Amino acid sequence: MTTDIQGNLYVTSGVSLHKFTADGDKRWNYSNPSYGDLSQVDAGIASKILLFYRESSNILLLNSELAPIGNPLNLLDKSMMTVSLAAMGNPDRIVLYDDANQELTITDLNLNVLSRTQLTFPGEFHPTAMQVVPEHRIALLDTLRGICLFDFYGTFDRTIPIPGIMAMQLMKNQILYLKDRTLYQYTLPTETTPLDLQPLNTGMPDMKTFHIRHHFLYYIDNQNVVWKSKI
């Protein structure tokens, strides 16, 4: 589940993607069973919605009406055999994470490599989620290590060592994350600003994943029901 800058909501179900308006009206669907189940959806750039199918190693870009933009991008054709996460970096860039090789790669829209960073974290590192603030910051979530931050070019910045995070939302200067059924707001410290970590009192113990946009909280509970609440 995610939202775009207009507040539209995107929900996945197996091979299908459903788009709803901010008022909850269902507008468009997209489904292509030949690619397998949807692994990841990034609507950070509403005109180029990225769909990642890890099972078939395909990336597909959709327009705002969920119509395909060009042909699918097959990672295997570029010898990228073990990509586990994908997101849009900006309208012309795609960010990829290769779990087997611990590589963070930035490509153009034809999967031509523009930069590649080899990560050298000690011990186990297996991110389960990646988010990007276009042209600003990249975040990788590892449930044991915490959240690892990089600049837009893939250079490592810092680790936020909070294990046990279930889901996160990356913003320009803040990170929202879900841990122990509580939603927290983490303001990134600077040289002049101390660490600011605040729980958000949502009162929703069954939250499994979430997204916040325009002062509204969208979340999915343990029964896979989508909820919307003003915050």
**Three-state SS for 78?**
helix
Query: Does residue 137 form part of some domain?
Result: yes
Nearest to 197 by CA among 218, 174, 169: 174
Distance CA 66, CA 48 (A): 9
Question: Does residue 105 form part of some domain?
Answer: yes
Is 38 inside a domain boundary? yes
- The answer to whether position 51 is within a domain reads yes
- CA distance linking residue 52 with residue 20, whole number of Å: 20
91 within domain boundaries: yes
What does the DSSP 8-state code read for residue 206?
Answer: T
User: Is residue 158 within a helix (H) or strand (E), and if so which, with residue range?
Assistant: strand 156-160
* Residue 214 lies inside a defined structural domain of this protein: no
Distance set, CA 37 to CA 51, 59, 72, 226 (Å): 10, 12, 15, 19
Instruction: Evaluate whether residue 167 is within a structural domain.
Output: yes
pTM score of the predicted model? 0.92
Domain coverage including residue 41: 2-188
Domain annotation covers residue 35: yes
CATH no. for residue 71? Answer: 2.120.10.30
The total of structural domains in the chain comes to 1
Query: pLDDT of the chain along its 231 residues, tens only?
Result: 999 999 999 999 999 999 999 888 999 999 999 999 999 999 999 999 999 999 999 999 999 999 999 999 999 999 999 999 999 999 999 999 999 999 999 999 999 999 999 999 888 899 999 999 987 899 999 999 999 999 999 999 999 999 999 999 998 888 999 998 888 988 887 644 444 556 675 556 688 899 999 889 999 988 888 888 887
